[in-house]
Chain A
Amino acid sequence: MNGTEGLPRLGVGIGWRPEIAGFVADLPGLRFTEVIAESVHLAHPPDHLLELRDRGASVVPHGVKLSLGGAEPVAPERVAHLAACAELLGSPLVSEHVAFVRAGGVEAGHLLPVPRSRAALDALTANIRRTRAELPVPLAVEPIAALFDWPDDEYEEGDFLTELVERTGVLLLLDVANVYANARNRGRDPVGLLDRLPLDHVAYCHVAGGEEGGGRYHDTHTAPVPPEVIDLVAELSARLPDRTRPPGFLLERDGRYPPAAELRAELDAIAAASGLEPVT
């Protein structure tokens, strides 16, 4: 048992954004999308999203402001919103991040890394338990791309995530581009991390592009997916344990949207590298 048994076969997907709603709606084989949970107005959900739900696509609410890795308890109203999104959209699961976004009432404005320490594992474990108690569906958590580490890390990333999964049984949302970005910015081999993760708990994966700036690779989601990330999709797919429902692979794009043909080509490249059916 690893918690992935009840999930549908997701296949290749793309993150739903208002700017590309028409493109997403017109993908003939699409059965999987994701929406930023905080952008969903429960009383006025976008028609395009409801149409995807009604034609049987899996629509996964993806939270970005819950702060599961914060030392403070997660806000009940934020958990309730995630749960309500899952109910509204008929979602098979919801996802959030292994990160914190605020502390002491100050908003960071983005996802920040937690120290890889026992205290952070305690905080994450407690907040994942609080969140799952209110959710109607499973939760997957995504390790983030971080430009810096805490000075007092007690664990390597793979061991930290393995310990988190062992403590909680939580599913993983593995962002291949984050694995690539973290390894590249630290001069490490991204495949090495894949070999240390509990891949049987991966519910689905993210794929995205980023940009070099100031000597660092930034996971911006506003650029084409680099070939190295597509290669890593293939490396990961070759390592995934055999199971009846393989994890989905979802393309994230958050700005500077390219022509539809380019997005279709990226979706096809992800399908080819992961061995999943094309959706275009």
Chain B
Amino acid sequence: MSTGHMSAGDPGGLEELAARQEALVRAMTAGGPLPPGFDAAAVRAAADAILRKRAGEVARAWPALAACYGDRWRAAFTAWAAERPTRGSFRDSWDFARAHRDGLSPAVALELALRETRWDYDGTGEPRLRKAAFRRVPGGFAVQVRGRLRVFGKAARR
């Protein structure tokens, strides 16, 4: 076997590759322009396949959220996600729910409120568990101390 190719390669080539890979990913996930020379329809088909896969992953991450939309879930999610690169299905589901508060069932609105009580998430950084929190939630209020969540009011009976 050949072993004569252990050089580090051409750093300029790697820099250009990095820029071209980023341009392609942005075109496929973030609404960026498609770099020249690609088959636009084929790249679109691949980007659409990724969106469908993401819709399925988010539905598995938060089934009740997807259930709010029934048969329209995939269309609703892909329309929202088309120019938003994934940040993992947990955060994608959360970001989607925050952006669609009016479309949530009462049960999912409560789940979202409880999630907000448990976690500190500014929408950009990684969510972090809160040490303690007190929140109004639909139908009552929630208290969370060191990961233990208690719900009071009508919401507690859901």
In the complex, whether A110 has a CB less than 8 A from a CB of chain B is: yes
* Complex alpha-carbon distance, A117 and B17, angstroms: 9
* Complex alpha-carbon distance, A115 and B14, angstroms: 12
- Asked if B29 and A147 sit within 8 Å, CB to CB, the answer is no
Given contacts A103-B21, A107-B87, A109-B86, contact A148 B29 (CB under 8 A): no
- Asked if B42 and A147 sit within 8 Å, CB to CB, the answer is yes
- Asked if B9 and A119 sit within 8 Å, CB to CB, the answer is yes
In the complex, whether A108 has a CB less than 8 A from a CB of chain B is: yes
CB closest chain-A residue, reference B49: A218
- Asked if B85 and A167 sit within 8 Å, CB to CB, the answer is no
Q: When the two chains form the complex, which single residue of B9, B49, B86 contacts A126, counting CB atoms closer than 8 Å? A: B9
* Complex alpha-carbon distance, A120 and B18, angstroms: 10
- Asked if B21 and A70 sit within 8 Å, CB to CB, the answer is yes
* Complex alpha-carbon distance, A50 and B1, angstroms: 38
| A contact residues, range | 35 or more
- Measured between beta carbons, the chain B residues less than 8 angstroms from A146 are 46
Q: When the two chains form the complex, which single residue of A1, A109, A169, A216 contacts B85, counting CB atoms closer than 8 Å? A: A109
In the complex, whether A131 has a CB less than 8 A from a CB of chain B is: no
- Asked if B15 and A108 sit within 8 Å, CB to CB, the answer is no
- Measured between beta carbons, the chain B residues less than 8 angstroms from A109 are 29, 50-51, 53-54, 85-86
- Asked if B28 and A255 sit within 8 Å, CB to CB, the answer is no
For the complex formed, measure the closest distance between the CB of B57 and the CB atoms of chain A, giving whole angstroms. 9
- Asked if A104 and B25 sit within 8 Å, CB to CB, the answer is yes
Cβ proximity bits B36-61 to A, threshold 8 Å, 1 near / 0 not? 11110011011001110110100000
- Asked if A71 and B15 sit within 8 Å, CB to CB, the answer is yes
For the complex formed, measure the closest distance between the CB of B73 and the CB atoms of chain A, giving whole angstroms. 15
- Measured between beta carbons, the chain B residues less than 8 angstroms from A216 are 42, 45
CB within 8 Å of B: which A117-162 residues: 117-123, 125-126, 146-152
- Asked if A119 and B16 sit within 8 Å, CB to CB, the answer is yes
| B contact residues, range | 35 or more
- Measured between beta carbons, the chain B residues less than 8 angstroms from A107 are 25, 29, 85-88
- Measured between beta carbons, the chain B residues less than 8 angstroms from A121 are 9
Given contacts A147-B49, A148-B42, contact A71 B21 (CB under 8 A): yes
Given contacts A119-B10, A122-B13, A151-B37, contact A103 B18 (CB under 8 A): yes
* Complex alpha-carbon distance, A27 and B85, angstroms: 39
* Complex alpha-carbon distance, A149 and B41, angstroms: 12
In the complex, whether B2 has a CB less than 8 A from a CB of chain A is: yes
In the complex, whether B99 has a CB less than 8 A from a CB of chain A is: no
- Measured between beta carbons, the chain B residues less than 8 angstroms from A126 are 8-9
- Asked if A167 and B38 sit within 8 Å, CB to CB, the answer is no
* Complex alpha-carbon distance, A117 and B14, angstroms: 11
- Asked if A151 and B36 sit within 8 Å, CB to CB, the answer is yes
In the complex, whether A28 has a CB less than 8 A from a CB of chain B is: no
In the complex, whether A259 has a CB less than 8 A from a CB of chain B is: no
Cβ proximity bits B14-34 to A, threshold 8 Å, 1 near / 0 not? 111110111011101110000
In the complex, whether A72 has a CB less than 8 A from a CB of chain B is: yes
Interface centre among A100, A109, A117, A147 (most CB of B within 10 A): A109
- Asked if A123 and B17 sit within 8 Å, CB to CB, the answer is yes
For the complex formed, measure the closest distance between the CB of B120 and the CB atoms of chain A, giving whole angstroms. 22
CB within 8 Å of B: which A1-35 residues: 1
Some 17 contacts from A to B, beta carbons below 8 A apart, are A1-B1, A104-B18, A107-B87, A108-B29, A108-B85, A109-B50, A109-B85, A110-B49, A115-B17, A118-B10, A123-B9, A123-B17, A148-B39, A150-B38, A151-B36, A166-B1, A169-B1
